[in-house]
Amino acid sequence: MGAMTTAATATERSAGSDVAISTVLASTAGFVDSCGFVALFGLFTAHVTGNFVLIGATLASPRPGIVAKLLAFPAFVLIVAATQLVVHACKRRGRDPARVVLGGQAGFLALFLAAGVWAQPVADADSSIAIAVGLLGVAAMAIQNAASRTVFVSYPPTTVMTGNVTQTVMDAVEVVLGTADAAGKARLRKMLPPVVGFALGAIAGGIGFVRFGFGCLAAPLVAVLYVAWRRT
């Protein structure tokens, strides 16, 4: 009986740790995406496909920043592919890919922070430095996107929230109606915190840039390093 209780407690702690990590990562994505959008003339760094909409809008009504948005997708694809190769290499060598991937994301976030601080104020959306700064942000979040489907596959997605919000609302309705099963309740407890975390991170990212410029990116950098530490 004691062994069963201990095992159950350990499982609960593990589940709580998973929720905490996924919430921190979701907050990071929201923060970086919002900061990049405000700082870099509407560039999405985490939700990179959103740039397609902005490209269409720019073609319909010309506005600055289209070069960075055009380059964001191929840069995103290349970094995702590189991340996948790194994950496979780590598994072959018996290493934990999560720590390596998080280290890579932290490295690109540090470069995003440093380049942004050095370049600010970024006044020309189509300047080389603006494009370079934006692509560093895209690279950092491309790694998190890839990680969410590999090393963090047991967590809810932490970069694109549409599916999470849809499922969370559906499960919440079932709970209110009293028709939710155990799986639905567990899913709601698992998915709601990252959704809230992403929303709060997005708010903090926008306000953070207005108040501190690119220096505000120290917050998501520390968050990623925290997650890497928790994985040790």
Domain encompassing residue 217: 18-155+200-230
CA distances from 19 to 12, 72, 151, 179, 192 (A): 11, 30, 15, 24, 9
Compute the half-sphere exposure of residue 219: CA atoms within 13 Å on the CB side of its CA. 22
pLDDT at position 15 is 56
* Segment among 83-87, 160-164, 166-170, 228-232 with least mean pLDDT: 228-232
Q: Is residue 161 part of a domain?
A: no
Q: Is residue 3 part of a domain?
A: no
pLDDT at position 11 is 44
Residue 10 pLDDT level (bands cut at 50, 70, 90): very low
Q: Tell me the average pLDDT across 52-69.
A: 84
pLDDT in tens, 77-136: 999 999 999 999 999 999 999 999 999 999 999 999 999 999 999 999 999 999 999 999
- Which of the 8 DSSP states describes residue 213? G
Compute the half-sphere exposure of residue 163: CA atoms within 13 Å on the CB side of its CA. 7
Q: What average pLDDT does the structure give for the chain?
A: 90
- Looking at the structure of the chain, the number of domains it has is 1
Q: Is residue 162 part of a domain?
A: no
Burial class (CB in 10 A: 0-12, 13-18, 19+), 192: buried
Q: Is residue 71 part of a domain?
A: yes
Q: Is residue 26 part of a domain?
A: yes
Q: How many C-beta neighbours within 10 Å does residue 180 have? A: 18
